Amino acid sequence: MNAPAYDAGSMGLMLNELRLPTIGRLWSDFAQRSDKEGWQASQLLGVLFEHELAERAKRRLERHRAESQLDPTKTLATFDFGVVPMVSKAHVMALATGDSWLEQGATILLFGPPGAGKSHLGSAIGHALIDAGYRVLSTRTSELVQKLQAARQALQLPSALAKLDRFDLIILDDLSYVRKDQAETSVLFELIAERYERRSLLITANQPFSGWNNVFPDPGMTVAAIDRLVHHSTIFELNVESYRRRKASDKQNARRRQLPNNNDEGAATTL
Ligand code: ADP
Ligand code: MG
């Protein structure tokens, strides 16, 4: 049989219908090249399929990055491990590949004073996991508690929790800022219990467990939440001075060193 001929218009319609926009954009140039260079038909098809797949993977990654709500600047590349010697870079890099701890639904807990780098480190792990193909959601704990509380009032809590199941990891930032009087925080316990041993959490908190009695409605629930969280967990304690404060004082010291008189800034202004 004679091979049928197709014009650009009908090709465009078919590719549109098939939802193959990248091939739609590229096929005509590649077809010309293929004609000129005498490619096999399978080569032309293979090249076009590869481009469609690569473009899809790129778009998926962009979608996952956007839905994560992670700060794009807080990555492993911008995190200085030198200022937190108690955090093993090798350990963090291993966790950043995901794999077994995410499959176990394990937890990462980051404790430390304000400015120690907990949110940055959590975000950096989140970005690396997205790069590795996982889905991540980062949220202030209080914000998620409010949303879940609203869902409970609308009798939608189970479906709200089920929707969060699509995330391999939820980063709950600043858990210890949540106050039981601010909202009914038993929804937070329900999230923890729901994900236990199935889906992972990464939690940052200024206060280690001892301060969590202010978070949950009663001590029994606090114990039950902590019990689940620590069962399969990695804990990093970033007990360092605030990064911002340290940078500010480094800058000040550097300025002092530059002054010819080296004792006070007043001397410099009179020069
Ligand atoms: P925390 O969540 O512990 O209060 P953040 O992660 O918000 O602290 O850190 C405060 C600021 O300092 C952020 O701008 C963060 O990017 C920066 N920072 C903290 N630790 C580091 C680090 N080790 N390397 C690079 N930047 C850091
Ligand atoms: Mg923080």
We report the CATH number of the domain holding residue 120 as: 3.40.50.300
Is any atom of ligand 1 closer than 6 Å to the C-beta of 92?
no
Residue 53 forms part of a structural domain: no
Number of domains the chain is built from: 1
The stretch 63-73 carries a mean pLDDT of 98
pLDDT value at 47 more than 50: yes
Q: What pLDDT, in 10s, does the model give residues 240-266?
A: 888 888 778 777 777 777 766 554 443
Cα dihedral across residues 222, 206, 136, 157: positive or negative:
positive
Residue 10 forms part of a structural domain: no
Structural tokens at position 118: 């907990």
State the burial class of residue 37 (Cβ atoms within 10 Å of its Cβ: 0-12, 13-18, 19+). Answer: exposed
Is any atom of ligand 1 closer than 6 Å to the C-beta of 111?
no
Report how far Cα 202 is from the mean position of its chain's Cα atoms. 10
The residues that bridge with 171 in the sheet, in sequence order, are 138, 202
Q: Domain containing 111: what range?
A: 68-246
The atom of ligand 1 lying closest to the CA of 173 is: 2
| Cα separation, 67 vs 161, whole angstroms | 16
Choose among 170, 130, 131: nearest CA to 148: 170
Is any atom of ligand 1 closer than 6 Å to the C-beta of 122?
no
> How many beta carbons lie within 10 A of that of residue 255, not counting itself?
11
Residue 193 forms part of a structural domain: yes
pTM of the model: 0.86
Residue type, 189: F
| Cα separation, 13 vs 28, whole angstroms | 14
Q: What pLDDT, in 10s, does the model give residues 104-134?
A: 999 999 999 999 999 999 999 999 999 999 9
Choose among 239, 229, 166: nearest CA to 203: 229
| Cα separation, 176 vs 141, whole angstroms | 9
Banded model confidence at residue 218, pLDDT cuts 50, 70, 90: confident
Residue 184 forms part of a structural domain: yes
Protein residue whose Cα sits closest to atom 23 of ligand 1: 80
Say what the pLDDT of residue 270 is.
29
Banded model confidence at residue 41, pLDDT cuts 50, 70, 90: very high
Residue 19 forms part of a structural domain: no
The atom of ligand 1 lying closest to the CA of 123 is: 6
Residue 189 forms part of a structural domain: yes
Residue 267 forms part of a structural domain: no
Residue 149 forms part of a structural domain: yes
Protein residue whose Cα sits closest to atom 25 of ligand 1: 79
Distance 93 CA to ligand 1 centre (A): 18
